[in-house]
Amino acid sequence: MRGLNRWAYLFILPFFVIFAIFTAYPIISTLITSFTNESMATMSTKFVGLSNYYSEITSGLFWKSFGNTLAIWIPNIILQMAIALLLAAWFTNSELKLKGKGVFRAIFFFPNIITVTTIAILVYVLFDWQHGVINQLLFGSGTAETAKYINWFDRGWRIQLIIGIIQTWMWFGYTMIMLMAGIQAMPVSMYEAATIDGASGARIFFSIVLPYIRPILVYIIITSIIGGLQMFDMPWVLFQNQGGADQGAMTMSVYMYSRSFTWDQNLGAGSAVAWIMFGIIAVASFAYLKVAYGKEDRQDGIN
């Protein structure tokens, strides 16, 4: 038996070799680069200490990208959670007995698996202000009507709102499915006790169901923080490194990519931005965990 355990090392070897090369090494290498002035534009690279970090933290553009990211993410997470909770509550409501759950679940999930690049081009076409479907639907397509067309992409806040709503559209189904799974895993006895006590549907949902699925809510929000604060694909495909009007679509990742690979190809500065982002994401996640779980002991860790 003891001898057999040695096989484990052979079996996990491919994973950890590839892991070391393609995951661990790049992370460390990025960290080291962040302390240098390495750039694709110039040949000589030297150690510059924390100066990249200093210049990014004092850079208006970096904080602008931070603000842009939040302006996209915050409306999205609120809207997405509200819609997903409402739909999940309805679909699991034993009084309403809604039909076609499986089909609706699948339809709501569909936008989630479409390539973000495709979605971005779809947005580009639908929201095109002269010929896009959105304006055509809102105002009609005569000459008088076209005068009223809204140029959706000419304000930073509008761009942010549109991207945020598209994110909601892509993710509310996914979130709903997770919430439904959590609610359905609830022991029936918990409902029954409340129903006998005469609690209303809404009351049951807020004081019994929500606390029960809290771990799932926390998981959804943490993964959304990690994913949302890194958003790149859609703003990049729509506006590339300019970020569109008012640079509204210049998220932290777009800024980081632009610094590293397009503007001055400053890999050192880009690496520093990446690590600052990591710091922000980690702090946000832990702060949220703290708020969500408060002083309570965590009952069960992993393993």
Partner 1 sequence: MTNKNNTSMLGISKMSTLNAKRLFAYAVILFFVLICILPFYIMVINATRSNNQVLSGVSLLPGQSTVDNFKNLIFGKIDPNSHIRGGGLNIPQGFLNSLIIAVSSTVLSGYFSALTAFSFVIYRFKGKKFLWSLILAVIMVPTVVGLVGFYQLISNLNMIDTYWPLILPAIASPFAVFFLRQYMISSIPLSLIEASRIDGASEIRIFHKIVLPLSMPGIATISILGFLGSWNSYLLPLIVLNNKQLFTMPLLIQQLNTTLYNRDFGAMSMGIAISIVPILLMFIFFSKFLIEGISSGGVKE
177 binds partner 1 (CB under 8 A): yes
Residues 6+ apart with CB under 8 A from 169: 111
Residues 6+ apart with CB under 8 A from 130: 146, 149
| Long-range contacts, stretch 92-98, CB < 8 angstroms, 24+ apart | 92/180, 92/183, 92/184, 92/209, 93/201, 94/191, 95/201
Show contacts with partner 1 in window 52-71 (CB under 8 A).
none
248 binds partner 1 (CB under 8 A): no
Provide the 3-class DSSP secondary structure of residue 47.
strand
Cα distances from 179 to residues 94, 110, 220, in angstroms, run: 16, 17, 9
242 binds partner 1 (CB under 8 A): no
Show contacts with partner 1 in window 3-32 (CB under 8 A).
4-9, 11-12, 14-16, 18-19, 21-23, 25-31
Give me the least distance between CB of 223 and partner 1, in Å please: 9
Show contacts with partner 1 in window 184-203 (CB under 8 A).
185
Using the minimum distance from each CB to partner 1, give the nearer residue, 83 or 194. 83
Give me the least distance between CB of 74 and partner 1, in Å please: 18
DSSP H stretches of helix in 93-209: 101-113, 116-126, 133-139, 143-146, 156-184, 188-196, 201-204
Site residue total, partner 1 (CB under 8 A) = 98
43 binds partner 1 (CB under 8 A): no
Q: List beta partners, residue 36.
A: 47
Give me the least distance between CB of 294 and partner 1, in Å please: 19
Q: Produce one character per residue of 49-67: b if its CB has 16 or more CB atoms within 10 Å, e if not.
A: eeebbeebeeeeebebbbb
233 binds partner 1 (CB under 8 A): yes
Give me the least distance between CB of 65 and partner 1, in Å please: 12
Give me the least distance between CB of 160 and partner 1, in Å please: 19
Show contacts with partner 1 in window 86-115 (CB under 8 A).
86-87, 90, 95-98, 104-111, 113-115
* Binding segment (CB under 8 A) for partner 1, from list 71-79, 188-196, 270-278, 289-297: 270-278
* Binding segment (CB under 8 A) for partner 1, from list 47-55, 150-158, 191-199, 235-243: 235-243
Give me the least distance between CB of 156 and partner 1, in Å please: 19
Backbone angle region of 70, left / alpha / beta, with phi > 0 → left and psi within -120 to 50 → alpha: alpha
CB 124 within 8 A of CB 238: yes
The one-character DSSP state at 41 is: S
226 binds partner 1 (CB under 8 A): yes
Give me the least distance between CB of 147 and partner 1, in Å please: 16
Show contacts with partner 1 in window 153-172 (CB under 8 A).
169, 172
Give the residue carrying structure tokens 């860790």: 301
Residue in 70, 150, 210, 216 binding partner 1, rule: CB under 8 A: 216
Give me the least distance between CB of 259 and partner 1, in Å please: 10
Q: List beta partners, residue 288.
A: none
